Amino acid sequence: MKNLRTHGKSTIVWLLLGLMILGLGGFGVTSFSGGSTAIGSVGGTTITAEDYSRALRQQMNAYGQQTGQALTMAQAQAIGLPQAVQSQLITAAALEEQARRIGVSVGDDRVRQTIAEAPAFQGPTGSFDRTAYADVLRRENLSEAEFEREVRTDEARLLIQRAVAGGVNAPAPVVETTAKWILERRDVSWRELTADMLPAPIAQPDEETLKAWHSANADRFTAPELRKITYAWLTPEMLAPSVQLDEAALRAAYDANIDEYQRPERRMVSRLVFPTAEEAGAAKAQIDAGTAPFETFVIQRGLQPEDAELGEVSQADLGAAGEAVFALEQPGTVGPVQTDLGPALFSVHAILEPVNIPFEQAREDLRAEAAVDRAARTIEERSAEYEDLLAGGASLEQVAEETELELGTIDWSADAAPAEGSIAGYQAFRDRAAEISEADFPELANLDDGGVFALRLDQVVPPTLKPFEDVREEVEADWRRAEAHRQLLALAEEQRLSPAAPEGQPAPQWTEVKDITRDGWIEGAPAEAVTRAFAMAEPGEVEVVDAENRVILLRLDAIDEADLASEEALRINEAVRDRLGQSLQSDIFDYYARAVQRDAGIQLDQSAINAINAQVQ
């Protein structure tokens, strides 16, 4: 309930009522009273600047939580979020205006019930707590009368929403037709045509044909934009060999990570506590007899297997049970063992051998790791020096001469896979390489492994058609693939019209697939085949499927009508009814809200809206 006051009085009401339906869905819009600045109005109901700012911030925050990154105002405007928020506020204001005009209100009992059922005002027992109620209102500087008036207004608006859209149901014939369409199944047969089925090999193309193909399909033989870049960079791994480490530093690194080098035997263990030792013993007897595994008793106790897991433990971690558990020579179950929680069974899933790596054996690995860490700190400490050199006008070549940074050049393309160990393997480099211009000066930037780099764009080579002579083999291979595909399509069309095999030749082999659904698939065939199967009208029809550079003949064998009396059909039927009903309710409410807005009249202050947009970030 924190920060409720900054969200406007009726945010409390919004949290209580949860008006997450129809035109107001999810926008947290309730009251339009209060506030000294308005961005607009519907009739006599004002939309305050506070309402708009709060709702806009809420939506930007919600979007950021869904995407995992903060949404800027520029991005929000690009996707039309401010306009959507304004639309929701206008709709809510129209409902409040309509409630005022026609005199819709709710009684004290409904207001009292709403407040009493609000989780924000419930005490430890789950019932309404008068003290909590008063405390929340006091923190938000609200009187009970003011808050209850807001609740009454919101309830009246919700009452109109329900009256307009409630009780609207999807027509039964529409629901049935839709359910039948969804549940319909089909039987098909298919076969793929391949190049070895062509009556004759692909003829050898002449040079003119290939040159024409090269020109007509220039996009396939065009080298992408190339950026010639000079860069200077330094990574911890590059600097590590020159880092000096004494024995004391290595010993300190060993001691700091002693758990990696010295670790007693550990075991992966689950524990299940029973009310009595007798119950634990009975469960152990069934486990030993092989009639029920350990997990069965975990589930019988209303738990999931992970709830019983203790994870990786040492003998000391298990206390009194440690000796019995570590006495097992292989995974299994021990017990009952008396623990602080009661009699328990312990299931050992894995035995992890002890680790004993002395310092002398770990020295080389420690040196390599410690050297990289020291190098990363050195680079961080010296970054200011590198930046000063660049800011002072030093070229990358001069920086490389005066510091540890290494100079390099690269012909970089966004479409090319980076070579192993190349600076192009770093996302930070690729991002900078893609955006830099020839007018930009080199700037120091960080790599994700603690390194740094700076780059300069020397030249941009635009996309260029590769000379025919350089790609002749590639052009011929491409032409042959296209020509084979063209001939296969022609052959498929012939066989579609005359499916019978020529005299003296074996009948073609079809793969039969039964009971495919609209959201299903045909194993081994392109996804397009399912779409085409449900587009055919009559059994016996044959279609050519040209998809994923493959040629498929598809035959419809049978159409299986849906059985609307089945359990699956009843479930689908109910889902369709709900979905269509919600859609109809939404449409009806939308029409009603638009009519109310038109009758009452809408006024918006665009300058006030722009001012808020400029403030919200």
pLDDT at 25: 38
The Cα-based distances of 34 to 8, 37, 38, 354 in angstroms read: 8, 9, 9, 69
Mean pLDDT of 303-328: 85
Q: Which amino acid is at 520?
A: G
| Four-residue CA torsion sign, 257, 263, 268, 273 | negative
Question: Does 369 score more than 80 pLDDT?
Answer: no
Quickly count: other Cβ atoms within 10 Å of residue 507's Cβ: 8
pLDDT of 378-411, one tens digit each? 999 999 999 999 999 999 999 999 999 999 999 9
Write out the two tokens for 101. Answer: 């005009």
**Confidence category of residue 109, pLDDT binned at 50, 70, 90:** confident
User: 526 Cβ partners below 8 Å, 6+ apart?
Assistant: 545, 547, 548, 550, 552
- Could you tell me the two tokens for 526? 């392109």
Highest mean pLDDT among 48-52, 82-86, 96-100, 477-481: 477-481
Question: Are 83 and 89 contacting, i.e. CB atoms less than 8 angstroms apart?
Answer: no
548, 561, 557, 560: which is closest to 511 by C-alpha? 557
- Tell how strand 355-356 and strand 262-263 pair up: antiparallel
Residue 531 binned pLDDT confidence (cut-offs 50, 70, 90): very high
- At residue 534, the pLDDT reads 94
Which segment, 89-98, 256-265, 495-504, is predicted with the most confidence on average?
89-98
Instruction: Find the radius of gyration of the CA atoms of the chain.
Output: 37
pLDDT of residue 617: 65
pLDDT at 28 over 80: no
* Alpha helix stretches (DSSP H) within 184-276: 207-216, 236-239, 247-256, 258-261
Q: Tell me the sheet residues that pair with 516.
A: 186
What mean pLDDT do residues 111-129 have? 82
Q: Which two tokens stand for residue 390?
A: 């660049």
DSSP secondary structure code for residue 321 in this structure: G
pLDDT band at 32 (very low <50, low <70, confident <90, very high): very low
Note the pTM of the prediction, 2 decimals. 0.53
Burial of 561 (0-12, 13-18, 19+ CB in 10 A): exposed
* Neighbour count for residue 505 (Cβ, 10 Å): 8
Running DSSP on this structure, what letter comes out for residue 316?
G
Can you tell me the distance from the alpha carbon of 165 to that of 590, in angstroms, rounded to the nearest whole number? 9
Angle at 511 between CA 508 and CA 512, to 5 degrees: 125
Q: What is the pLDDT, as a whole number, of residue 5?
A: 34
φ, ψ of residue 352 to 5 degrees: the values are: -105, 120
3-state SS assignment for residue 38: strand
Residues facing residue 360 across a β-bridge: none
CB 121, CB 132: distance < 8 Å: yes
- Where residue 3 falls among pLDDT bands split at 50, 70, 90? very low
Residue 253 sits at φ, ψ, to 5 deg, of: -65, -35
Q: Is residue 63 pLDDT above 60, yes or no?
A: yes
Assign 476 a pLDDT band (cuts: 50, 70, 90): very high
**How high is the pLDDT of residue 29?**
36
Query: Edge-to-edge, what's the strand order for the sheet holding 445-446?
Result: 406-412, 226-234, 452-461, 445-446
Terminal alpha carbon distance of the chain: 23
Number of neighbouring beta carbons within 10 Å of residue 184 = 15
Q: Within 10 A of 437 (CB to CB), how many other CB atoms are there?
A: 7
Residue 204 pLDDT grade (very low, low, confident, very high; cuts 50, 70, 90) = very high
Per-chain mean pLDDT for the chain: 84
State the pLDDT at residue 502: 58
pLDDT at 163: 83
Q: Does 10 have pLDDT greater than 80?
A: no
Class of residue 89 by CB neighbours under 10 A (exposed 0-12, middle 13-18, buried 19+): buried
pLDDT, residue 503, reads: 59
Predicted pLDDT of residue 26: 36
pLDDT at 331 over 70: yes
- 215: phi then psi, degrees, rounded to nearest 5: -75, -40
Distance CA 115, CA 136 (A): 12
Helices (H), 49-103: 49-67, 73-78, 81-102
